[in-house]
């Protein structure tokens, strides 16, 4: 796997992880929370649609998907897709850092196992 493809993988996965944080932030605003409390699906959708962070998250997902297309054009999906597991690690770290989410022992062990799996797959290409 070339350095360029590896960089595309890392950028795409990183964009997806940041998108998760943006979406969570957007869906945690008071406006969205109030709409969710009503149980009215229409007002929930409207509140989410007017959240800039939701749009940022969706945009990042879209750009990450476009980059992923370039990855898939160059390497086997069986070699590329395990790197998506890095997104779990990055998202967990970003959630802890930016959102103050707690990382328990089991979650940490699971994430380490994902890391080991990604490493083993990377060594096989």
Distances (CA, A) of 56 to 6, 11, 20, 42, 98: 24, 16, 10, 21, 16
pLDDT, tens digit (0-9, with 9 covering 90-100), for 49-93: 899 999 999 999 999 999 999 999 999 988 888 888 888 889 999
pLDDT at residue 10, as a whole number: 95
The Cα 122–Cα 2 span in angstroms is: 12
pLDDT, tens digit (0-9, with 9 covering 90-100), for 18-58: 999 999 999 998 888 888 888 878 888 888 889 999 999 99
pLDDT at residue 5, as a whole number: 93
Phi, psi of 103, rounded to the nearest 5 degrees: -115, 105
**Rg from Cα positions in the chain:** 17
pLDDT at residue 62, as a whole number: 97
pLDDT at residue 125, as a whole number: 64
Average pLDDT score, the chain: 90
pLDDT at residue 93, as a whole number: 93
pLDDT, tens digit (0-9, with 9 covering 90-100), for 87-110: 888 999 999 999 999 999 998 898
**Domain assignments of the chain as residue spans, ordered by start:** 3-124
The two tokens of residue 125 are 């290409």
* pLDDT higher than 90, residue 115: no
The Cα 81–Cα 118 span in angstroms is: 9
Smallest CA-to-CA distance from 9 within 78, 58, 57, 81 is with 81
């Amino acid at each position: 796997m070339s350095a360029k493809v590896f960089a595309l993988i890392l950028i795409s996965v990183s964009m997806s992880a940041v998108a998760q944080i943006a979406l969570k932030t957007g869906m945690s605003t008071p406006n969205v929370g109030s709409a969710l409390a009503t149980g009215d699906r229409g007002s929930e959708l409207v509140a989410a649609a007017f959240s800039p962070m939701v749009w940022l998250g969706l945009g990042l997902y879209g750009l990450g998907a476009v980059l992923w297309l370039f990855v898939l054009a160059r390497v086997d999906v069986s070699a590329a897709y395990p790197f998506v597991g890095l997104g779990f690690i990055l998202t967990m770290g970003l959630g802890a850092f930016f959102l103050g989410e707690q990382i328990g022992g089991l979650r940490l062990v699971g994430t380490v196992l994902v890391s080991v799996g990604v490493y083993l797959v990377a060594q096989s290409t």
